[in-house]
Amino acid sequence: MSITEHAYAKVNLVLRVGAPRGDGLHPLCSIFASVDLADRVTLERAAEDQVVCAGIEGPNLAAAAVSAFRAEVPELPPVRVTIEKRIPVAAGLAGGSADAAAVLRAAEKLSEAGLCPERLRRLAAGIGSDVPSQVEPRHALVSGVGERVEPIELPRMSLVLLPSEEGLSTAAVFDELDRLRGGSPASLLDPRALRGLAGSPLSELAAAVENDLAPAATSLRPELAEAVESLLSSGALAAQVTGSGPTTFGIFGDRSGAVAAASQLDKAIVTEARRP
């Protein structure tokens, strides 16, 4: 028996980040757009636990997800996880987190343990800050240190992604944020400040696009500023770095505009905000 799940990428339309807490984690408040770019994750019984992902070596979040689930459900048999990657690696698109969440969903189905999404999110919180939001992949308002996830609706939109050949360490970007003393005050981390924005027309939402990590990511990779400018020059309603980067994105009102823009940009990816 095998279970296959899609692991969808996310784009941070708005990302506000606060000063680090005593435990070193940064509180945040973010509007996540779930997009149709996705990895394919298959889980099946095996003689021993194994994660197979072409081009990815060493420990990864998918393996951590298997361990976390088995700690909760010891009856889970040894499994082989096969990941077909489409989401760029270390790109700020939560590809690894989405894969880990897909593993949790697949393990729950394989084991028939009856764990509800809330219990899976609690397991996910111990794996990584972006994993809880991907347990039920959808547009979300995310706060706390990623553990508080509220489903939201977003207007239709197309996006053009500009990935980089070289990934960017999330930890390095947060360290640079702290060095630059960037981020938002605690008052702007209240999700009520963003809840109304999520339901706004696309023009208003695009005008509010922001990312507190963008200055830190651009400090480490100055070429990201040029990528953002190229998206704006190609007709994007808004453009920004997503997450800790280095992927940049542009928002378009329709797919034809996104496709036309992507044709002018090297290695651009056209994707859509997912519909319910």
Active site residues: 10, 130
Distance CA 269, CA 262 (A): 7
- Partners of residue 159 on adjacent β-strands: 251, 271
Please say whether the beta carbons of 41 and 106 come within 8 A: yes
Q: E strands along the chain, which residues? A: 2-17, 28-45, 50-53, 79-84, 140-144, 148-151, 158-162, 210-211, 238-241, 248-252, 269-272
In 3D space, the residue among 134, 128, 93, 141 whose CA is nearest the CA of residue 245 turns out to be 93
Query: Which tokens is 271 given?
Result: 């994707």
The H or E element spanning position 105 is helix 95-111
- DSSP-derived letter for residue 88 is P
Distance CA 180, CA 55 (A): 34
CA angle 11, 139, 178 (to 5 degrees): 45
